[in-house]
Chains A and B, each alone.
Chain A
């Protein structure tokens, strides 16, 4: 019996030893290279990082792939609260920065000379990583100006052209739906708050703002009301769908041509080629329909930054790496080619992206259109409770899309405003109304 016990004890110790060696990959000690961990979700990013690791034996970066967007941020916030477990660097979307700063999760990079990078990026992108102050909380990685993607073959066969204004878009939606009741020019997606935010941004909305020491919330104001009224009208008319995007039905619609257009962002080719590979060469991209054709504008849907966390023990090395990743021509080219994002570093991106994505091989000037559109992005400030505003969008607009009335869409905007303000106040922020 003693023997049995002893052998099982030995097995347990052996297992423990195995486990410990298996997971001892922490940050490096005094000797050897500095090891940095990087939570990110951009596809194939580890291949871009591989280039860095080969050139910089002293600073080795490990990419830990995370669930995209919200989940990685939630995990990071949990680790920050717990006091350990956060990575050195994280891929954070623009709209998450204020939230992360509010939880003291991001290191200020202005001490590391990040200010020198200001000219590399567009003013709009840079504003979002500084939150309009002196501190610099992240370096822009990719940007995602919104554009209009449409099935050129279907519009051609109907003798129709891409719209340049929202008025034309509405007429086109009616024409497409009348010609074939199974076809819709697009859908109003109550699931994608980022999409609607982009549309509001295009209309010059300012959802959050800073007034002295107080936050202001401007969801329920003219620009957003205008956008909601417009889409509510089209949905009530039945010429635009009311089902969310990214559902199996929506994917099927992309394949069989019942979704004729998609208001999306520069990354759309990747999604289209993944979900509807057989429609390659049938789509074309155009700038967004405009509210005022004389002053073209667009919004962003997506886009992200690289930030250094407050738990990092090597902020200098981390800064060195993310500067390389987001500004070095070789890295930016790799970001565009391998990872498939539209890099935020303007000049390097223009040089890297010359040939259209394979899915859009029919449109050789694809990236010229993108570059032209990218310059027109409206400035937009995100507040510290974007998650609350977004989930309010999901809840309220789901009801509105279900009700299919214009009035319900306008009411949803009012509710979003109320929920966002209430949450800011209950979180202890000063809100100016």
Chain B
């Protein structure tokens, strides 16, 4: 579907760009205004789409094979074991995979919601209030954007261990609620989409600061917050290092850590390739669904950014 979208840019290039890969979209965007697409850029885009979609195709094909076929038949030739593999995966240790899926949904859903709200209020405050030390706070935040989350996992483990929260849902949820990048984005959205006049008007009417944020600023920042939510959702959904270090109980694992366990069973036990491939395939479906559902807001948001930035 994305490929045809790219071939005919007039249909809607942003769908393809947002659904298939997090690649930047300026090229396809610039085509919007011109009905005639140049063959060169179309070719480049098709190549890009093939490059992005080929691994997905590989996973779909490989998911239909059994253990022997996986290594002996032609890579892109499908086989008839697709549903067998789903059944086998569902039966693995009493349906543990689906528990992992639910865990992942909990981590990503609750985590992204909480993170979005925290980012929104922090960004709003940074954009609309003046207080001593504001620029220091913002500089520290900017530096935080540059620090990859992976290297914080071990220090976070030690902190969690001190308060006895390792190996619990909290240990994975709490560290992911603060997202410097989310706060940074939210500050930009708040500065761009919430006019100071509106806030002042609300103050004049006697509204308290907290309700101004909740009832006036929050709805105005909505489209931007959807972006932050999606970013965080995908980041938590795909996160490996943090849950991997924090969790020992396999009933709390998200999909990423669970699947890694199926692959690394030690030298003496065969890797469960077929289950892992099927598990990986099923795990991206909710992400795709999330993008399709929130696409409308995502588009609005990109447009808003383009005009106001």
- B128 CB, min distance to chain A CBs, angstroms: 18
Cα separation A256 to B252 with both chains bound (whole Å): 40
| Contact across chains for B265 and A41 when beta carbons are under 8 A apart | yes
Q: Please tell me if B170 contacts chain A, counting CB pairs below 8 Å.
A: yes
Cα separation A279 to B264 with both chains bound (whole Å): 24
| Contact across chains for A275 and B67 when beta carbons are under 8 A apart | yes
| Contact across chains for B72 and A252 when beta carbons are under 8 A apart | yes
A-B contact count (CB 8 A): 130
Interface hit among B34-42, B153-161, B193-201: B153-161
Q: Please tell me if A87 contacts chain B, counting CB pairs below 8 Å.
A: yes
Cα separation A166 to B252 with both chains bound (whole Å): 49
| Contact across chains for A83 and B245 when beta carbons are under 8 A apart | no
Q: Please tell me if B167 contacts chain A, counting CB pairs below 8 Å.
A: yes
Encode B191-211 as 1/0 by CB contact (under 8 A) with A.
Answer: 000000000000000000011
Q: Which residues of B contact A87 (CB under 8 A)?
A: 248
Closest B residue by C-beta to A274:
B270
| Contact across chains for A23 and B67 when beta carbons are under 8 A apart | no
Closest B residue by C-beta to A81:
B158
Q: Which residues of A contact B244 (CB under 8 A)?
A: 71
Q: Which residues of A contact B272 (CB under 8 A)?
A: 274
- Interfacial residues of chain B within 240-294, with CB under 8 A of chain A in the complex: 244-245, 248-250, 252, 260-261, 264-272
A68-B248 in contact given A78-B154, A85-B161, A277-B67 (Cβ < 8 Å): no
- A425 CB, min distance to chain B CBs, angstroms: 26
Q: Which residues of A contact B210 (CB under 8 A)?
A: 1, 5
- Interfacial residues of chain B within 144-165, with CB under 8 A of chain A in the complex: 154, 157-158, 161-162, 164
- Interfacial residues of chain A within 69-110, with CB under 8 A of chain B in the complex: 69, 71, 75, 78-79, 81-85, 87, 93
Q: Please pick, from B68, B162, B265, the residue contacting A278 in the complex, using a CB distance under 8 A.
A: B68
A67-B167 in contact given A43-B269, A75-B245, A276-B68 (Cβ < 8 Å): no
Q: Please pick, from B72, B157, B164, B168, the residue contacting A256 in the complex, using a CB distance under 8 A.
A: B72
| Contact across chains for B161 and A25 when beta carbons are under 8 A apart | no
- A66 CB, min distance to chain B CBs, angstroms: 7
Pick the most buried of B71, B166, B264: most chain A CB atoms within 10 A of its CB.
B71
Cα separation A81 to B71 with both chains bound (whole Å): 42
Size category of the A interface is 35 or more
A85-B248 in contact given A1-B211, A65-B261 (Cβ < 8 Å): yes
| Contact across chains for B248 and A64 when beta carbons are under 8 A apart | yes
Interface hit among A52-60, A220-228, A264-272: A264-272
Q: Please tell me if A428 contacts chain B, counting CB pairs below 8 Å.
A: no
Q: Please pick, from B70, B158, B265, the residue contacting A68 in the complex, using a CB distance under 8 A.
A: B265
A68-B266 in contact given A5-B210, A255-B68 (Cβ < 8 Å): yes
A67-B168 in contact given A37-B248, A277-B67 (Cβ < 8 Å): no
Q: Please tell me if A145 contacts chain B, counting CB pairs below 8 Å.
A: no
- A390 CB, min distance to chain B CBs, angstroms: 12
Q: Which residues of A contact B271 (CB under 8 A)?
A: 246, 274
- Interfacial residues of chain B within 123-178, with CB under 8 A of chain A in the complex: 154, 157-158, 161-162, 164, 166-170, 173
Q: Please tell me if A337 contacts chain B, counting CB pairs below 8 Å.
A: no
- Interfacial residues of chain A within 288-345, with CB under 8 A of chain B in the complex: 301-302, 340-341
- Interfacial residues of chain B within 58-83, with CB under 8 A of chain A in the complex: 66-68, 70-72
Cα separation A428 to B99 with both chains bound (whole Å): 45
Cα separation A341 to B265 with both chains bound (whole Å): 13
Pick the most buried of A19, A46, A68, A83: most chain B CB atoms within 10 A of its CB.
A68
| Contact across chains for A22 and B169 when beta carbons are under 8 A apart | yes
Cα separation A260 to B249 with both chains bound (whole Å): 41
| Contact across chains for A79 and B161 when beta carbons are under 8 A apart | yes
Q: Please pick, from A25, A78, A248, A255, the residue contacting B249 in the complex, using a CB distance under 8 A.
A: A25
Q: Which residues of A contact B261 (CB under 8 A)?
A: 41, 65-67
Closest A residue by C-beta to B211:
A1
A65-B250 in contact given A41-B266, A83-B161, A276-B68 (Cβ < 8 Å): yes
Q: Please tell me if B215 contacts chain A, counting CB pairs below 8 Å.
A: yes
Q: Please tell me if A427 contacts chain B, counting CB pairs below 8 Å.
A: no
- A266 CB, min distance to chain B CBs, angstroms: 9
Cα separation A313 to B250 with both chains bound (whole Å): 21
Cα separation A87 to B270 with both chains bound (whole Å): 25
Please give 16 more A-B residue pairs, beta carbons under 8 A apart, in addition to A46-B93, A79-B248: A19-B168, A19-B170, A39-B248, A41-B266, A68-B264, A68-B266, A81-B158, A82-B162, A82-B166, A83-B162, A84-B161, A84-B164, A252-B71, A267-B268, A274-B270, A275-B71
Identify 26 residue pairs between A and B in the complex whose beta-carbon atoms are under 8 Å apart, listed by A's number.
Answer: A1-B214, A19-B169, A37-B249, A42-B269, A64-B249, A65-B250, A65-B261, A66-B250, A67-B260, A67-B264, A68-B264, A71-B244, A71-B264, A79-B248, A82-B158, A82-B166, A84-B161, A85-B161, A85-B248, A246-B267, A255-B68, A265-B268, A273-B270, A274-B269, A278-B68, A302-B266
Closest 4 CB pairs of A and B: A274-B270, A68-B266, A82-B161, A267-B268
